[in-house]
């Protein structure tokens, strides 16, 4: 039995309607792919903010242990684009300082900042010279003529 020339079962023949349906299915799946990609990027930003909070806490604690400004040390240690989202607060003990760094988690959706904060804490011993208020003295260098 010969095939009719317009038969849908003709080998190697693709109907235009089928191609249009595939395009519509792809367009329907595209938002799902976009949401999954944005969620992956957002998860990366959450992890990055937590890492930056740890770095800021350690740098702030080190700065405060040397009798410098903890906030300035914190902001200098993080990436420039996240520094304005970073806040550090020192708490001094008898022989140590604890700095808590808080970083607001950035959002991939503009205008939506409801993701919270990442908070990390670091403790460093106070530098003994800064604690006593005196600097260590060095031995004076011998002059060339003294032997």
Tens-place pLDDT, residues 97-106: 999 999 999 9
Q: Domain range holding 45?
A: 20-132
pLDDT at 87 (0 to 100)? 93
Position 7 in a domain: no
Helix (H, G, I), strand (E, B) or coil at 120: strand
pLDDT at 28 (0 to 100)? 81
Position 110 in a domain: yes
pLDDT at 142 (0 to 100)? 44
pLDDT at 137 (0 to 100)? 40
Residues of the chain with pLDDT under 70: 1-19, 128-147
Position 140 in a domain: no
Q: Give the number of domains in the chain.
A: 1
Position 66 in a domain: yes
pLDDT at 134 (0 to 100)? 40
Torsion of CA 72, 100, 104, 67, to 10 degrees: 0
Helix (H, G, I), strand (E, B) or coil at 17: helix
Position 1 in a domain: no
Position 33 in a domain: yes
Position 5 in a domain: no
């Amino acid at each position: 039995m010969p095939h009719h020339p317009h038969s849908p079962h003709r080998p190697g023949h693709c109907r235009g309607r089928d191609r249009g349906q595939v395009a519509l299915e792809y367009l329907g799946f595209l938002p799902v792919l976009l949401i999954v990609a944005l969620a992956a990027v957002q998860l990366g930003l959450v992890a990055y903010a937590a890492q930056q909070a740890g770095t800021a806490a350690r740098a702030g604690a080190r700065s405060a242990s040397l009798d410098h400004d903890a906030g300035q040390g914190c902001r200098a240690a993080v990436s420039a684009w996240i520094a304005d989202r970073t806040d550090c607060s020192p708490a001094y003990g008898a022989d140590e300082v604890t700095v808590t760094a808080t970083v607001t988690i950035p959002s991939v959706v503009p205008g939506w900042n409801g993701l919270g904060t990442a908070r990390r804490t670091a403790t460093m011993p106070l530098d003994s010279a800064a604690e006593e208020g005196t600097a260590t003295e060095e031995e004076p260098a011998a002059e060339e003529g003294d032997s």
